[in-house]
Chains A and B, each alone.
Chain A
């Protein structure tokens, strides 16, 4: 039973355009949602997070939107750069403020010059 789902295995966009990565979840008790970025042969690195009591969080070119009624979140990257090419993982912490994170399977983003 996958609680965090990323239904698009891959996404390709042109440099300078917007990248939108999507994530759905099933557990309404999640407190926080996070996005991690992973380059080949490296571990995932934290990108941005959002609390379940908010609907938007922005950090530079990265914005995460949360729609609790739809149990959906998205990561927007504007403008996209070739260096953003990586696998992006959506994650949520366990219910009740648990420290453990549940991850989606990831979306591979390719930004073409």
Chain B
């Protein structure tokens, strides 16, 4: 199993540009999560999906952020327009339902480091 795959690993863009981050979850996992890591706020949950349906997007900071999961093997997080304060590492994670407290909870990708200048 290749694990959770995120692309790109690094993204540098100018303020005002659109940014799209991509994620391929582990096959068979029915939950997908988008987290953002910053020095100030640590790891914060942005949105999560269950069976491709958004369940909780209360962590999405603004309307500039949107996420989709068109099928079980692909999700995107889009920022339009991007701002310097969006600079952070964005992680995608997936899990199989009922395992959060067991031996196989969230599996994270290696993240996308976003820099907005």
Contacts and interface: CB of A to CB of B under 8 A. Distances in A.
A45 B108 contact: yes
Contacts of A65: none
A50 to B, nearest CB: 9
B75 interface: no
B107 to A, nearest CB: 8
A100 B56 contact: yes
Nearest to B50: A99
B12 interface: no
Contacts, number: 65
Interface string A12-45: 0000000000000000000110101000011111
Interface size classification for chain B: 20 to 34
Given A42-B110, A43-B110, A99-B48, A93 B42 contact: no
Contact of B101 (A32, A36, A42): A32
A93 B110 contact: no
B56 A31 contact: no
Nearest to B108: A43
A104 B93 contact: no
Contact of A49 (B105, B107, B109, B111): B105
Interface residues of A, number: 24
B97 interface: yes
B105 A34 contact: yes
A43 B43 contact: no
B100 A99 contact: yes
Contact of B93 (A31, A32, A43, A97): A43
B108 A101 contact: no
Interface of B: 4, 31, 33, 35, 41-45, 48, 50, 56, 91, 93, 95, 97, 100-111
Sort A-B residue pairs by CB-CB distance and give the 6 closest, nearest first. Answer: A43-B108, A32-B101, A105-B42, A103-B43, A93-B100, A43-B110
